[in-house]
Structure 1
């Protein structure tokens, strides 16, 4: 996997002592501290977590892991920080901290990556609903709930990673960081994009131009075999600049962006990312299998007989970070669940497990899309009718089609080029969190401007649009059953 390097000097104070070969970038040089962290059991756990969840069910070569992705993010961060160091923007200490944070940014990931993360976000959301005494009663069945988006940042994989770095004792990371003069608390803040003193740290880890997104675009495109990720990465990195803008209080702050002459490459990057999501991440079959996986993981978390192997919630995970149980919390454990007799006592979970084991995909019955302006949210009439049917009359559809209501589930996907509409009043309505994420261009005079504010940029116009996709699926894959569901769905939409 690695060879000893020739003691190449790294910004004078540290040396690259190892090299790992990567299929995307070639040689990835490492310092001794980085090498020691990589060889801890808790980092090696990332070898057993797939980067793209169950995308390999559709794209067979998408078997790459969070381990290789983490090395890729380190490589890109190395390129970016080397450039910014040469420009006098970052010092040596900045560089070493950002490199280490990039290496550790995914150390807390869940099984099947964002598939598992979504499950524990749902669990946390439901627990908070109970605490707030809010009703969680819904007509949605378990599979539809499994496909919903639960944005609960407090249990994100970055939070798990922060807990590993700051509370970790048995698996050496804390000792390694201390030995090499790193502050674990500061690294955790950088990973979570919450560094109080340096917004550049946060943007290099959490923004449209962060090292994480740059790597997964290139790596995921390479391993899925699609061509959407073929962006001129070197040109983009070479034209990174630091500019200045005003915060919400009118104070000048330093921000990262690309020079104005590289606007076209930034536009290409954002459109490539859009198409990677639309054609790979949210592929209809990938989504269907991942919803099944989420449902099975959720059921495992609620099954008391699995307490010794699976986790109940985020708190349970954090309490066990220093144990062998957490090291086993990976994709291999998930696939063992598919054979677990304790879960198979539930008939629907048994069916889901069989479908995942045999790659028997749920059938997509109907898909409706609506391209809307984000400032208006005016959906096409067909879309509104379909959503109303799914929300209120899906049980009736199932009964008329003579299929079990719990076999039908639906999923909604919003897709946009940027999370921010160009028609928002940026100075008044845009939060600091949103501004941190947005792509910027840096003018010759050093002033920074959000790309979406540039009316001559194609992204200004594309960001005004959002594509919303609504899909209805059925677990019963027989042509006769699916045909009846489609027939009844179309009849009720008339």
Structure 2
């Protein structure tokens, strides 16, 4: 038995089997993976890690399992799945996913199968059952990776706490208390609709304030370009990205001359690129068209801009925003014996769906020394936005 003092939830208790899992190198690596990547360059307090988030998710999963009155073995399974759910994250968390083909969920499954984690789990559980839960299959999977899951609850609370941004404060107590299992379906009771709306609002406001903050997007674009070049030169192995931590990538990049080393020095010293163009998605007739732009057309735009201002093509970055999806809108809600999607009974949720492009924009970044030349360009002429 072991206690871990968590900044958000207080004392968290782990049994001997859970300690055995968390003490593996695969889970200890998560202590060296920042939860919010380079967001600490915007919010200096955002230095929390995937490890903290994983044990916090375990705690909330346990609270939900108790509320659902799951049996002891299933309760233990859910706790262990929560500990492992982010084990496959690459360096700087989601930031690295833009440069590799596999998602962190796929890499987590691969890691569990190939490492001692699978052997340890098999002492108590079916490894295939664990993988199903982690990937979000069935009602147990929806607890960890669903519309209103404990993963999301923890990261909103945690990210809000460490950035100092108040928007992520949500009513976890009411959410958990109003969730129930019926006919192999994880449902939200109608009494919990207001808490669910609050969670959606929290995510909506956290996007422009934290996750898609304009400076965070610049930093992330710079790192992804740097990481992409490291992968091109085969200085790191894309297929084993889950074995690297943040320092591994930083050290590798610092040791390389040219563009890669230059970008890492800029990140080290917060000498960031400048945003020279922004196209608000709600200013165009069909915002969805932005997400249809292909890599070839984006690269052509970057090359053409670079040629016109005399810069290296790798220094021009056209950044498509993250698609503002809110899956909580489809959360099944039990109302007077009927099961309906949250979006069908909440005017607020429908309004958020209409407003989701309000803060999203396509941006172009480049080094400050090219800003003056860039100011003379009409950037829309370079962008091949589908009709």
TM exceeds 0.5? Answer: yes
Distance 1:453 1:192 in 2: 27
Task: Find out whether 1:482 has 2:371 as its counterpart.
Answer: yes
Partner of 2:340: 449
Contact 2:53 2:154 in 1 (8 A): yes
- Which residue number corresponds to residue 273 of structure 1? 203
Flag the 1:393–1:52 CA change in 2: closer, same or farther, 3 A. Answer: closer
Residues 397/330 of structure 1: CA separation in 2 closer, same or farther (3 Å cut):
closer
Out of 460-469 and 45-54, give the one that drifted further: 460-469
Deviation of residue 215 (structure 1)? 0.5
Could you tell me how far apart the structure 1 residues matched to 2:277 and 2:18 are?
A: 49
**Cα displacement (A) at 1:414:** 4.7
User: Which residue does 1:359 correspond to in 2?
Assistant: 270
| Greater fraction helix | 2
- Structure 2: distance between partners of 1:391 and 1:108: 29
Q: Does 1:163 align with 2:110?
A: yes
Alignment of 1:99-248 (within 5 A): 99-121=79-101, 155-169=102-116, 173-179=117-123, 181-194=124-137, 199-243=138-182
Structure 2 Cα separation of the partners of residues 38 and 397 of structure 1:
48
Does 1:41 pair with 2:25? yes
TM-score of the superposed pair, with normalisation by structure 1: 0.70
Equivalent residue for 1:464? 354
Question: Is 1:254 aligned to 2:238, yes or no?
Answer: no
Alpha-carbon distance in 2 for matches of 1:283, 1:106? 23
Higher strand share: 1
Aligned-pair CA distance for 1:416: 3.4
Call closer, same or farther: CA 1:64–1:401 in 2, change over 3 Å. same
* Unmatched segments (≥5 aa) in structure 2: 383-387
The answer to whether the 8 Å contact 2:136/2:146 transfers is no
Q: Measure how far apart 1:240 and its partner are.
A: 1.2
Helix, strand or coil for the counterpart of 2:276? strand
Q: For each residue in 1:171-228, what CA deviation from the matched residue of structure 2 results, as whole angstroms up to 9, or x when unmatched?
A: xx3443233x22222111211123xxxx211211221211111110100111111001
* DSSP 3-state at the match of 1:182: coil
Query: Among 385, 410, 415, which residue is 2:318 paired with?
Result: 410
Within 2, Cα distance between the matches of 1:102 and 1:273?
Answer: 21
Q: Structure 2 vs 1, CA of residues 175 and 401 (structure 1 numbering), >3 Å: closer, same or farther?
A: closer
> Residues 414 and 108 from structure 1, CA distance in 2 versus in 1: closer, same or farther, beyond 3 angstroms?
closer
Task: Look up the match of 1:299.
Answer: 229
Root-mean-square deviation over aligned CA pairs: 2.8
Deviations 1:50-109 (A, max 9, x none): 111111111111111111010000000010001001xxxx32222111111111111121
Q: TM-score, normalised by structure 2?
A: 0.88
* Contact 1:271–1:417, Cα closer than 8 Å, also in 2: no
**Against the structure 1 CA distance between its residues 186 and 230, is the aligned structure 2 distance closer, same or farther, given a 3 Å change threshold?**
same
Contact 1:242 / 1:442 at 8 angstroms: preserved in 2?
no
TM-aligned CA distance change 1:80 to 1:366, over 3 Å? same
Match of 1:439 in 2: 331
Larger gyration radius, structure 1 or structure 2? 1
Question: Whole-Å Cα distance in 2 between the matches of residues 364 and 330 of structure 1?
Answer: 29
Consecutive unaligned residues of structure 1, counting only runs of 5 or more, are 1-16, 122-154, 244-252, 423-437
**CA distance in 1 between partners of 2:109 and 2:25 (Å):** 17
